[in-house]
């Protein structure tokens, strides 16, 4: 069973608008990560938020974490056509190992 589930599955916005993607998970976690994947490429790490953090910023990215609701959101402000990609959340499922579990992803299209 998947630990993380992104919502929506697909999102299409105009350039300059903000894009918000959500991730829900089932078990307790130590941290949650967001990754980006351009079509046909490997994943690139965007941001990691620990379970004792509520919000984190990196450039135009803002991530929030609500452990009581077992959910996280990724906000991309002032989107650009180059932000077109798939975005995945990944959680460690609170295990003692270093493996993470990826959700199915949100496909974001930013229209110029």
Partner 1 sequence: DGGITQSPKYLFRKEGQNVTLSCEQNLNHDAMYWYRQDPGQGLRLIYYSQIVNDFQKGDIAEGYSVSREKKESFPLTVTSAQKNPTAFYLCASSMLGRAHNEQFFGPGTRLTVL
Q: Which of 14, 59, 99, 112 binds partner 1 (CB under 8 A)?
A: 99
4 CB burial (10 A radius; 0-12, 13-18, 19+): buried
d(CA 31, CA 39): 26
Nearer to partner 1, 15 or 53 (CB): 53
Size of the site for partner 1 (CB under 8 A): 27
104 in contact with partner 1 (CB under 8 A): yes
d(CA 33, CA 89): 6
Taking the complex as a whole, the smallest distance from the CB of residue 78 to partner 1 amounts, in Å, to 25
Considering just the CA atoms, what is the radius of gyration of the chain in Å?
13
Partnered with residue 48 across adjacent β-strands are: 33
Residue 70: left if φ>0, alpha if ψ -120 to 50, beta else—which one? left
> Which residues 26-55 are close enough to bind partner 1 by CB under 8 A?
30-31, 33, 35, 40-45, 48, 50
Nearer to partner 1, 18 or 38 (CB): 38
Nearer to partner 1, 84 or 107 (CB): 107
Interface with partner 1 (CB under 8 A): 2, 30-31, 33, 35, 40-45, 48, 50, 88, 90, 92, 96-105, 107
């Amino acid at each position: 069973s998947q630990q993380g589930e992104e919502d929506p599955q697909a999102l299409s916005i105009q350039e300059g608008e903000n894009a918000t993607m959500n991730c829900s998970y089932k078990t307790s976690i130590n941290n949650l990560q967001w990754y980006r994947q351009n079509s046909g490429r490997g994943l690139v790490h965007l941001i990691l938020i620990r379970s004792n953090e509520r919000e984190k910023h990196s450039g135009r990215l803002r991530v929030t974490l609500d452990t009581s609701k077992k959910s996280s959101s990724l906000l991309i402000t002032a989107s650009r056509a180059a932000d077109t990609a798939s975005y995945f959340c990944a959680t460690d499922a609170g295990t003692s190992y270093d493996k993470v579990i990826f959700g199915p992803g949100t496909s974001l299209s930013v229209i110029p």
